[in-house]
Amino acid sequence: MTIDQIDLSRIDLNLLVALDALLSERSVTRAAARVGVGQSAMSSSLARLRRLLGDELLTRAPEGMRPTPRALALAEPLRATLRQIRALVHREQVFDPATAERSFTISLPDSTEVLLGPRLLAFLRAEAPGIRLLLRSVDRAHIVEELDAGRVDLAIGLLFEGQAHHKQRLLYRDSYVCLFDAEKLGLEPPISLEDYLRFPHVLTSLRETAHGIVDDALAKLGLKRTLAVTTPRFLAVPFLVRAAPVVTTMHARLAHYFAHALGLTVSPVPVAVEDVAITMLWHASHDEDPAHRWLRQTLVRLASETQDVEPLEVHP
């Protein structure tokens, strides 16, 4: 059957919203709560969807409700279609940051939140007080799924592996430097490779693995460093470095921020390490959404200013 043969007047847009909720939640009860209707109304919608599409869509299983192959094939096109409809509606309205009421969910590492968060919050309170943010830790293993499900509007982090229906833009580039307490190590910059290997290191890893790009660079030289601590939290690192005779290698912008705030020392890395690219990733259906586009442009502009970020004063 072609689209010309389908009576589109028979299709209630609310049914598509219900189907999206059912496929995301895989539970009539949770889908009803998500959409804001009663359980009986959601059950009725599921029955209508089954008749309309000629498929069971969801079947009972020990873990709840299991989508059929047809339902799984519909999931992403359905979400993309609903986003396009929402974007179309938004584009019909004039977006005015000063008066707009909108919430955005952004997934990002705490390192980027430290650099951009204060500037972004100050800008929003001054220029767009109706824009609200929900900031979440970025989960690289599931971020594409969260974007596709509409649980995240924008992801920020190292270069992502998106799909054809995702868009990506460079936010900023950064280099790596060493950060350490010069008094505790008895060293002054620049740190030598010999001293770099002589002291134990603090590694930040979001992948829960005790291996980083520095280890790859050292391995090419037949060298290896000693790790004292591995943590997923960038914000903990400068306090660990200030407490003990250890070295860390981190993004330069953040390192200079912490060095100024905590009286630490920055030095070039004595081994070749490539610069890092911090990017934004979003679903293509948001590409022309004026509010989403405004947020992306705002982040790019603020990121360009972070090289001269004013460090937070932290007193011992």
pLDDT in the model for residue 81? 79
The pLDDT of residue 78 is 84
Contact between residue 31 and residue 42 where contact means Cβ atoms under 8 Å apart: yes
Predicted local distance difference test score (pLDDT) of residue 145 = 87
- Residue ranges of the chain with per-residue pLDDT less than 50: 1-5, 92, 309-316
CA separation, residue 24 to residues 16, 42, 80, 99, 150 (Å): 12, 14, 14, 32, 10
- Region for residue 64 given its phi and psi (left: phi exceeds 0; alpha: psi -120 to 50; beta: otherwise): left
Kind plus residue range of the DSSP H or E element containing 203: strand 201-204
Residue with tokens 């009986």: 40
Q: What is the pLDDT of residue 89?
A: 64
Element (H, E) at 164: none
Domains and CATH numbers, the chain: 3-91 (1.10.10.10), 102-171+278-308 (3.40.190.10), 176-274 (3.40.190.10)
* pLDDT computed for residue 214 by the predictor: 95
Distance CA 173, CA 279 (A): 9
For residue 91, what pLDDT is reported?
Answer: 55
- What is the per-residue pLDDT for 205? 85
Q: State the first-to-last Cα distance of the chain, in angstroms, to the nearest integer.
A: 72
Per residue in 226-265, is it b (16+ CB within 10 Å) or e — as a string? ebbbeeeebeebbebbbeebbbbbbbbbbbbbbbbebebb
Among residues 190, 201, 251, 193, the alpha carbon closest in space to that of 225 is found at 201
